[in-house]
């Protein structure tokens, strides 16, 4: 494997997103949403203004769970199929580069663009709020940003995998939307449905572990269980196995959600 080839492709992808202002646009969306949530998130309770970082993060988590997977899927769904459909893939592959290097280059370039806009977008909010935050709060917020990046990377990995499997861009975009629906909207409902249908008799202990089969849920657990206030607030601590609240374990699961789809993509792309 030649790192230089990966870097060449990655830097092209990254600078493409900088130049067409994709990074700027996404960063601004994140900043705008985060500011609104930080100041008006508690409006339903009748107060306006920044309250606590924990509550702000809890609200941001709900937003990020919808938004980041969508952005990552849109960013990555045509990574390979787009090149193939446009007809530029043959030329790229005729270079002294392996398919794995090309795939990783694409992934890292797009992941860098996504990470950059996530950190810039939410980071700007941290700077605005910095006067009202202590060190511990900043630490929590940094954890939230890092896990958002990981969430984006996981869905980007899924998107790149789809882009290898799909026959054309149209199908790839369909698959991307289906993936978003499945993980962000349907998955939890299915689990909940299963729980209700079986009356909690069956699989009640297994259920929390099934949440690990969804990167969006891993992200939710990672953020909510790292915040003591929120944990008690949601009354979740009692139903949740403490082993799963280990942020390192959850981080590892998230990493697996990045590595495994990429591995499958690479296997398929070589065929």
Partner 1 sequence: MVLSPLTPNDAGAPLIVAQGVRKHYGSIRAVDGVDLEIRPGELFGLIGHNGAGKSTLFKMMLGLIPATSGEIRIGGAPVTGRGFRAVRRTVGYLPENVVLYDNLTGIETLWLFARLKGVALAEAGPTLERVGLAHAAKRRVREYSKGMRQRLGFAQALLGKPRILFLDEPTTGLDPEAIRSFYATLRQLRSEGVTTVITSHILAEIQERVDRIAIMAGGRIQASGTVQDLRDEVDLPLWVSVRVSKEDFETVRASLSHLQVEAIEAHDDLVRVRCRREAKMAVIEALARLGGRIRDLSLREPSLEDVFFGFSD
Q: Which residue among 32, 66, 86, 232 contacts partner 1 (CB under 8 A)? A: 86
Our CB check for partner 1 shows the closer of 97 and 146 to be: 97
Our CB check for partner 1 shows the closer of 93 and 252 to be: 93
Task: Pick the stretch among 2-10, 140-148, 161-169, 238-246 that binds partner 1 (CB under 8 A).
Answer: 2-10
Q: Which residue among 44, 45, 94, 238 contacts partner 1 (CB under 8 A)? A: 94
87 touches partner 1 (CB under 8 A): yes
Our CB check for partner 1 shows the closer of 4 and 136 to be: 4
Q: Which residue among 1, 3, 8, 187 contacts partner 1 (CB under 8 A)? A: 8
Our CB check for partner 1 shows the closer of 167 and 233 to be: 167
152 closest CA partner among 8, 17, 9 = 17
Q: Shortest approach of partner 1 to residue 97 CB, angstroms? A: 6
**Rounded Cα–Cα distance for residues 41 and 258 (Å):** 31
Residue numbers 97-116 binding partner 1 by CB under 8 A:
97
Q: Which helix (H) or strand (E) holds 249?
A: helix 247-270
CA 99 to chain centre: 25
Task: Pick the stretch among 16-24, 25-33, 174-182, 231-239 that binds partner 1 (CB under 8 A).
Answer: 16-24
158 closest CA partner among 181, 186, 142 = 181
Task: Pick the stretch among 31-39, 89-97, 240-248, 255-263 that binds partner 1 (CB under 8 A).
Answer: 89-97
DSSP for residue 86? H
- For residue 157, give both structure tokens: 């990995």
Q: Is the separation of the CB atoms in 18 and 115 below 8 Å?
A: no
- For residue 81, give both structure tokens: 């199929």
Q: Shortest approach of partner 1 to residue 99 CB, angstroms? A: 10
- Tokens 């998130």 correspond to 41
Q: Return the C-alpha torsion angle 200, 205, 207, 212, nearest 10.
A: 170
Q: Is the separation of the CB atoms in 154 and 254 below 8 Å?
A: yes
16 touches partner 1 (CB under 8 A): yes
Binding residues for partner 1 (CB under 8 A): 2, 4-5, 8-9, 12, 16, 19-20, 86-88, 90-97
């Amino acid at each position: 494997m030649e790192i230089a080839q990966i870097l060449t492709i990655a830097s092209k992808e990254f600078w493409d997103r900088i130049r067409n202002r994709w990074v700027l646009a996404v960063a601004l969306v994140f900043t705008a949403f985060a500011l609104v949530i930080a100041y008006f998130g508690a409006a339903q309770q009748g107060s306006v203004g920044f309250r606590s970082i924990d509550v702000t993060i809890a609200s941001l988590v709900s937003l990020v769970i919808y938004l980041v997977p969508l952005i990552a899927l849109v960013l990555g769904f045509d990574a390979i199929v787009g090149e193939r459909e446009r007809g530029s893939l043959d030329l790229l592959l005729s270079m002294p580069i392996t398919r794995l290097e090309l795939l990783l280059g694409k992934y890292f370039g797009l992941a860098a663009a996504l990470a950059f806009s996530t950190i810039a977008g939410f980071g700007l909010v941290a700077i605005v709020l910095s006067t009202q935050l202590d060190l511990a709060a900043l630490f929590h917020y940094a954890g939230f940003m890092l896990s958002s990046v990981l969430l984006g990377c996981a869905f980007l990995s899924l998107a790149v995998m789809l882009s290898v499997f799909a026959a054309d861009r149209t199908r790839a975009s369909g698959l991307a939307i289906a993936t978003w629906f499945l993980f962000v909207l349907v998955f939890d409902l299915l689990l909940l449905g299963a729980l209700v249908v079986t009356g909690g008799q069956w699989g009640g202990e297994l259920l929390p572990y099934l949440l690990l089969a969804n990167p969006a849920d891993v992200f939710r657990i990672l953020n909510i269980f790292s915040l003591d206030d929120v944990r008690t607030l949601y009354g979740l601590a009692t139903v949740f196995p403490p082993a799963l609240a280990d942020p390192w374990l959850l981080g590892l699961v998230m990493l697996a959600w990045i590595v495994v789809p990429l591995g499958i993509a690479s296997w398929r792309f070589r065929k």
